[in-house]
Structure 1
Amino acid sequence: MSENESIAAEQPTRASRGTAVPRTLLLALSAASLWGSSRMTWVHLTSSDGKTLERTTDLDGSTWAAAMTPLALALLAAIAASFAVRGWALRVVGLLVALVAVAVAVPAVQLLVSGASADRAVELAELSGHPEDLSTTVSVLPALLALLGAVAALGAAVLLMRKPPVRGGLSSKYDNPAARREAAAKLGQGDTPASDEPVTQRMLWDALDAGEDPTVADGDDGAGGGNGAKPGSSH
């Protein structure tokens, strides 16, 4: 592989490395948010059967949204996978992370918008008997923390699925010898370089090696004082 091809092949890898740190931080933040939310109380259930004192049952995130802890572990696994795979496989990991974000956001949004169902709370609390008086209280902070984790996971998914940018071209210093000779021949004929790069000393010597004199402009026959003569030629 030529030097030009080797550098071109390394460009997507460098671009991918540039997003490795932010996506890893986002995945770690998301996993930590989900784990913390799963340990916090989402719903307080107060029940009474009319004979005994009221009973309060706390339902944490791992109970109200049972998938919260497994999803946090899945995000940790995604961190390792993001360093182990490349190309289309990395985009598949990003798609899975996006699905995790959706799965986290749905129960949190439902709880914040619709509140907690008393029937579902009784079922999850596994209360015995038939309570006559039921009331539920929603904790907002754990649901918001879960939403934060979902947003962070979605941001990481975008970085994972984004195609590394490909630069339009390489500098002439990376061109192979044949390309340099062709550019030097055009320079010797009075043409300007195709790129916006300034004419360098190397380009002038390449023109001389190609048998062209870059110091002679178009229409100049070189007879006016010998300024256009090549080094080492006799008058």
Structure 2
Amino acid sequence: MTSPASSKRPLWIVAATLLLGAAALWGGSRLVWSAQQRDGGVRGMLLETQTGAQHSGALVPLAVLAVAGVAGAVATGGWPRRVLGVVLAVAGLWACWIAVDGVSFSGFPPGAPVWQMFLGRALTLLAGILVLLGGLIATKRAGAMPRLGARYAAPSVKKTARDPDTELWEALSEGEDPTDSA
């Protein structure tokens, strides 16, 4: 039999991976992803940059989805948690695709922040992997993880009390009046 601490561990792992993935997605959306020179007329050649959020408008919503996935993983259980895990896994794959789609290793204009361009895509790829991993763990371990409010759910089998005082307290917890003899 597993201890309560070991049954909570996958839930904490899911929450941590999703939060780290959301932070990495947000960070990757703020960095420069592409740079090109364009003719600025009298001002000469201008370096025009594009952030991750400008390159793909899906990065910030994917980060919000990952944060909402933490709340969903904590609040649900069973089949709803499995469905949420599949949605998060697809979102992680989507973030990975965004990170690798159109990556270029050459042809950068002079003065382009090349390190930022690679760091933004690498952060987004790492975020996609984290969100994918969190979704897969939530899907696989959905039944084993604790659920919000499960502690207060009505028991399916009546417990046997050890002493009369415990029986009185349990009767009160179940909404019965233990002093009513009628």
Task: Compute the displacement of 1:23 (Å).
Answer: 1.0
Unaligned 5+ segments in structure 2 are: 145-182
Task: Compute the displacement of 1:94 (Å).
Answer: 0.5
Determine the structure 2 residue equivalent to 1:104.
95
2:139 equivalent among 161, 166, 170: 161
Determine the structure 2 residue equivalent to 1:27.
18
Aligned with 2:38: secondary structure? strand
Determine the structure 2 residue equivalent to 1:200.
none
Are the equivalent residues in 2 in contact too, given 1:41–1:61 (CA < 8 A)?
A: yes
Paired residue type of 1:62? A
Asked if residue 46 in structure 1 is aligned to residue 37 in structure 2, the reply is yes
The more displaced of 72-81 and 55-64 is 55-64
Unaligned 5+ segments in structure 1 are: 1-7, 117-133, 166-235
Determine the structure 2 residue equivalent to 1:152.
130
Are the equivalent residues in 1 in contact too, given 2:31–2:52 (CA < 8 A)?
A: yes
Task: Compute the displacement of 1:50 (Å).
Answer: 6.1
Paired residue type of 2:129? V
Task: Compute the displacement of 1:13 (Å).
Answer: 8.0
Please show how residues 1-235 of structure 1 align to structure 2 within 5 Å. Answer: 16-48=7-39, 51-112=42-103, 139-163=117-141, 164=143
Task: Compute the displacement of 1:14 (Å).
Answer: 7.0
Aligned with 2:77: secondary structure? coil
Aligned with 2:101: secondary structure? helix
Aligned with 1:112: secondary structure? coil
Paired residue type of 2:125? L
Are the equivalent residues in 2 in contact too, given 1:42–1:143 (CA < 8 A)?
A: yes
Residue 157 to residue 115, structure 1, CA distance change in 2 (3 Å): farther
Task: Compute the displacement of 1:52 (Å).
Answer: 3.8
Are the equivalent residues in 1 in contact too, given 2:85–2:137 (CA < 8 A)?
A: yes
Are the equivalent residues in 1 in contact too, given 2:22–2:63 (CA < 8 A)?
A: yes
Give deviations 1:56-92, integer Å, cap 9, x for gaps.
Answer: 1221111001110011001000000001110011011
Task: Compute the displacement of 1:45 (Å).
Answer: 2.0
Paired residue type of 2:38? S
Q: Which has the larger radius of gyration?
A: 1
Paired residue type of 1:145? L
Paired residue type of 1:147? L
Task: Compute the displacement of 1:136 (Å).
Answer: 10
1 or 2 for the larger relative contact order (CA 8 Å, sep ≥6)?
2
Taking only the aligned residue pairs, the percentage that are identical comes to 24
Are the equivalent residues in 1 in contact too, given 2:93–2:129 (CA < 8 A)?
A: no
Are the equivalent residues in 2 in contact too, given 1:30–1:72 (CA < 8 A)?
A: yes
Aligned with 2:71: secondary structure? helix
Aligned with 1:111: secondary structure? coil
Are the equivalent residues in 1 in contact too, given 2:40–2:46 (CA < 8 A)?
A: no
Task: Compute the displacement of 1:18 (Å).
Answer: 2.6
TM-score (norm 2): 0.67
TM-score (norm 1): 0.53
